[in-house]
Amino acid sequence: MPPKTNSLGLEREEYKAAKSTLCPGCGHDSIANQIISMAYDLGINQHNVIKLSGIGCSSKSPAYFLGRAHSFNSVHGRMPSVATGATLANRSLTAIGVSGDGDTGSIGLGQFKHLVRRNVPMIYIVENNGVYGLTKGQFSATSDEGQVLKYYGKNELPALDLPLEAIIAGCTFVARSFSGDAKQAQTLLKAAMSHRGTALLDIISPCVTFNNAPESTKSYPYGKEHEIPLHEITYYERGAVPPREEILVDEYAAGEVIEVEMHDGSFIKLKSVDKDHDPRNRESAIKVLEKATMEQQFLTGLLYYEEPRATLADTLHLTETPLVHLPAEKLRPSQAALDSLMKDFM
């Protein structure tokens, strides 16, 4: 039997990259596998993708997926500024950033919030394990308040909620998932690929070496037992027709279904499970997250979605032609223009 291939005639194997050097069972490896499956299923052309990361076990992940894509492993917490530059220099690239809770929530929080505020078009994945895995498990900005770790004592500080930070900063696609829920994470990844603007995916990704005790909200046992998906989510590629019996309604209440059309004509269908949450309502998304924090609920799914707003390249009125493809004479002022400018200073 010939091997199974996708719309580009490629096998899933061809979307893989280097062999992982992370600890066996690390949640980050599940996410790399989910990115591989997403890209294979959607028939993504890897040459049009740039992978970006900072520093951390999570930030090593881009080495383990899409081996034919462009890649830039930056400095700790500085991936957002590199991503901003890369996506401005070549607006035709699809950017996939992988970061950690330390990389984004601790050292990189300022950079992250400005990336979101500027609406840099990219998928921004936080592999959130609630510790600094690479440097041996210190508390991060998303560690549980009151958590006790053998070598570091008690965490006295409240945790930051990265989806909440993203919504407040103006993010138009905000989701949370669990590395142990491969189907949901893959569907959200596919939807995020169709979004025009920053799409934040905060994926709880357990560190099996330093933060996997059942009472930690970032552990596998906790996630498996406490995950509350807000809805069943299905992604339909552009042109796909959903089964006929599915009646889509405008008003969203528990048990009903909404359809959210994405920028590229694909759409997602959300069927609420037991929560009355409309992801198109910003106030409701903020309230749901505040309540989840107070009650230690592990809610997953699409938390907030808004019609795409101008991306940074639009705001700066950049030409549609990627800057990297413009000839030098279009990028630089002519000698005559410079001479005339100089005259104004004389």
Q: Least separation, in Å, of the C-beta of 64 and ligand SF4?
A: 11
76 binds, among ligand SF4, ligand TPP, Mg ion, none (CB under 5 to 8 A by kind): ligand TPP
- For position 100 contacting Mg ion by CB under 5 A, the verdict is yes
- For position 80 contacting Mg ion by CB under 5 A, the verdict is no
Residue whose tokens read 């989701």? 175
Give the sign of the dihedral formed by CA 159, CA 105, CA 112, CA 63: negative
Rounded CA-CA distance 214/240 in Å is 41
Measured from the CB atom, is 143 or 266 closer to Mg ion?
143
Measured from the CB atom, is 55 or 189 closer to ligand TPP?
55
Rounded CA-CA distance 36/19 in Å is 13
Measured from the CB atom, is 207 or 268 closer to ligand TPP?
207
- For position 23 contacting ligand SF4 by CB under 6 A, the verdict is yes
Q: Least separation, in Å, of the C-beta of 162 and ligand TPP?
A: 11
Measured from the CB atom, is 68 or 224 closer to ligand SF4?
224
CB-closest chain residue to ligand SF4: 133
Stretch that binds Mg ion, among 63-71, 128-136, 152-160, 317-325 (CB under 5 A): 128-136
Q: Which amino acid is at 227?
A: E
- For position 105 contacting Mg ion by CB under 5 A, the verdict is no
Q: How far apart are the first and last CA of the chain?
A: 77
The number of beta carbons lying within 10 Å of the beta carbon of residue 177 is 30
- For position 164 contacting ligand SF4 by CB under 6 A, the verdict is no
Measured from the CB atom, is 42 or 164 closer to ligand TPP?
164
208 binds, among ligand SF4, ligand TPP, Mg ion, none (CB under 5 to 8 A by kind): ligand SF4
- Host H or E run for residue 83: helix 79-89
- For position 127 contacting ligand TPP by CB under 6 A, the verdict is yes
Under DSSP, the state recorded for 76 is T
Nearest Cα neighbor of 189 from 144, 246, 232, 233 is 233
Binding mask 79-118 for ligand SF4 (x = CB under 6 A): ----------------------------------------
Stretch that binds ligand SF4, among 44-52, 86-94, 128-136, 326-334 (CB under 6 A): 128-136
What residues contact residue 310 under an 8 Å CB cut-off, 6+ apart? 119
Stretch that binds ligand TPP, among 1-9, 102-110, 153-161, 182-190 (CB under 6 A): 102-110
Q: Least separation, in Å, of the C-beta of 9 and ligand TPP?
A: 35
What residues contact residue 130 under an 8 Å CB cut-off, 6+ apart? 101, 139, 140, 142, 143, 144, 147, 159, 207, 211, 216, 217, 218
Q: Work out which of 133, 163, 197, 229 binds ligand TPP, going by CB under 6 A.
A: 133
Of 133-192, binders to Mg ion (CB under 5 A) are 133
Q: What is the largest CA-CA distance in the chain?
A: 77
Nearest Cα neighbor of 181 from 248, 233, 113 is 233
Rounded CA-CA distance 124/182 in Å is 17
Question: Which own/partner contact pairs does 216-224 have at CB distance under 8 Å and 24+ positions apart?
Answer: 216/130, 216/144, 216/147, 217/130, 217/144, 217/296, 217/298, 218/128, 218/129, 218/130, 218/131, 218/142, 218/143, 218/144, 220/27, 220/180, 222/298, 223/178, 223/179, 223/180, 223/181, 223/298, 224/180
Stretch that binds ligand TPP, among 37-45, 127-135, 234-242, 328-336 (CB under 6 A): 127-135
Residues contributing to the site for ligand SF4 (CB under 6 A): 22-23, 26, 28, 57, 129, 133-134, 207-210
By the criterion CB under 6 A, which residues form the site for ligand TPP?
A: 55-58, 76, 100-103, 107, 127, 129, 131-135, 140, 207
Give contact residues for Mg ion (rule: CB under 5 A): 100-102, 129, 133
